[in-house]
């Protein structure tokens, strides 16, 4: 590399560190039973209909997939037919991160182009903007972890190209309501694209949820990000999508690689969209188990924030990194949130009842030790 001229934006960018994997901990501690509640995966597993469809796709895996993703985009358009958006409005990707990368590349084009980000939030926005040579303008969440939209507006400059809003927000589970988003979008200049990352929207209270698709239908510079990784239980498959008005979606789709969605993922996603039962079961499970976890955290006197998603942020009053490491030793993986700019918090994903019981038991043990100065 010595004589190569490197792109400093790439060589100095922070690396994404994913939640610790089960295999890693099995190897490190020689433990049999590991519980992973670190990456906001679906506690109930994948959609059974998706699994069946993917099995069927395996026999033809020697063939390239269709170069276009028309079938999936048509299925998405029919799934959201109430919104009146055509298949031209959808951008598919190898996970929604892939779509986020396309958007950033499409709009952060010159050094100093700005993107507004509201931490603590999903760390990929910051990483992608840095890689593209942009400038991250941070507008911190308020003390109650809600988004400070008036400060976001106050930080818009002539160089602002993108605003990233995560709704519900990972890792806090807090949400921008429909009225708040409507009011905000009416004030954002038309030169700025607002990316609303709705990776967890299915878990949120539908009464509070903004109607981003209505804004897109009206031709606003709004782009919604969604994924098959969360409520559909297909995180390992890598498939997600974005929604925008036609012209904008077509512009971003130019950045797709040939065969960017693999053939198995395409079949799995299409089948998952038909599996409403799995989605409903997953959402109901999440509501019940989130309440169970709230009650457990209250018993342990651990401050947390009520969540509109399938995870809960906890502010333990002790070093979250120490808590994380002690829990790892006992086979429970949680996620400390320093990388997401919440160094005094950790995040837990809602699991099955057995997993949640085990998590609370181990957390009780670890907190007991810390409170007694051990």
Ligand X SMILES: Cc1ncc(COP(=O)(O)O)c(C=O)c1O
In the complex, which residues of this chain contact ligand X (CB under 6 A)? 40, 95-97, 122, 166, 170, 197, 199, 227, 229, 235, 240
Q: 163: part of which helix (H) or strand (E)?
A: strand 160-166
Q: How far is the CB of 241 from ligand X (least distance, A)?
A: 9
Query: Helices (DSSP H) in 169-262: which residue ranges?
Result: 178-187, 212-217, 246-253
Q: How far is the CB of 238 from ligand X (least distance, A)?
A: 7
Q: Strand pairing of 35-36 and 222-227? A: unpaired
d(C-alpha 162, C-alpha 191), whole Å: 9
Q: Among candidates 243, 259, 242, which has minimal Cα distance to 98?
A: 242
Residue among 118 and 199 whose Cβ is closer to ligand X: 199
Q: How far is the CB of 32 from ligand X (least distance, A)?
A: 27
- As given in the structure block, the two tokens for residue 45 are 């597993």
- As given in the structure block, the two tokens for residue 206 are 């539908």
Residue among 234 and 362 whose Cβ is closer to ligand X: 234
With CB atoms as reference, the residue minimizing the distance to ligand X is 95
Q: How far is the CB of 134 from ligand X (least distance, A)?
A: 18
Residue among 18 and 59 whose Cβ is closer to ligand X: 18
Q: Among candidates 259, 218, 232, which has minimal Cα distance to 98?
A: 259
Report whether 113 contacts 131 (CB < 8 A): no
Residue among 305 and 366 whose Cβ is closer to ligand X: 305
Q: How far is the CB of 304 from ligand X (least distance, A)?
A: 18
Q: Please count the CA atoms within 13 angstroms of the CA of 58 that sit on its side-chain side.
A: 7
Residue among 51 and 370 whose Cβ is closer to ligand X: 51
């Amino acid at each position: 590399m010595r004589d190569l001229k490197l792109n400093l934006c790439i060589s100095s960018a922070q690396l994404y560190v994913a939640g610790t994997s089960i295999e890693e901990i099995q190897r490190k501690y020689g433990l049999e039973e590991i519980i992973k509640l670190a990456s906001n995966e679906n506690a109930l597993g994948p959609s059974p209909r998706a699994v069946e469809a993917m099995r069927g796709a395996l026999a033809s895996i020697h063939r390239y997939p269709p170069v276009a993703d028309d079938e999936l985009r048509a299925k998405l358009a029919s799934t959201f037919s109430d919104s009146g958006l055509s298949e031209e409005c959808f951008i598919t990707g190898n996970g929604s991160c892939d779509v986020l990368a396309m958007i950033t590349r499409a709009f952060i084009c010159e050094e100093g182009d700005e993107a507004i980000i509201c931490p603590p939030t999903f760390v990929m926005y910051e990483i992608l903007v840095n890689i593209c040579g942009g400038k991250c303008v941070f507008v911190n969440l308020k003390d109650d972890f809600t988004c400070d939209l008036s400060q976001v507006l106050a930080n818009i400059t002539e160089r602002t190209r993108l605003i990233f809003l995560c709704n519900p927000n990972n890792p806090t589970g807090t949400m921008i309501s429909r009225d708040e988003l409507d009011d905000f979008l009416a004030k954002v200049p038309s030169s700025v694209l607002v990316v609303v990352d709705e990776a967890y929207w299915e878990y949120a209270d539908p009464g509070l949820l903004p109607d981003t698709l209505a804004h897109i239908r009206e031709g606003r510079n709004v782009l919604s990000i969604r994924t098959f990784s969360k409520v559909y239980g297909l995180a390992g498959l890598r498939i997600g999508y974005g929604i925008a008005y036609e012209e904008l979606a077509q512009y971003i789709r130019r950045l797709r690689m040939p065969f960017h969605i693999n053939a198995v993922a395409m079949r799995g996603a299409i089948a998952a969209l038909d599996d409403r039962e799995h989605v409903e079961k997953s959402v109901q499970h999440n509501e019940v188990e989130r309440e169970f976890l709230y009650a457990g955290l209250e018993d342990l006197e651990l401050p947390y924030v009520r969540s509109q998603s399938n995870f809960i942020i906890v502010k333990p009053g002790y070093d979250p990194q120490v808590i994380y490491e002690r829990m790892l030793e006992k086979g429970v993986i949680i996620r400390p949130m320093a990388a997401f700019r919440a160094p005094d918090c950790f995040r837990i994903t809602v699991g099955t009842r057995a997993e949640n019981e085990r998590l609370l038991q181990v957390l009780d043990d670890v907190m007991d030790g810390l409170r007694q100065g051990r």
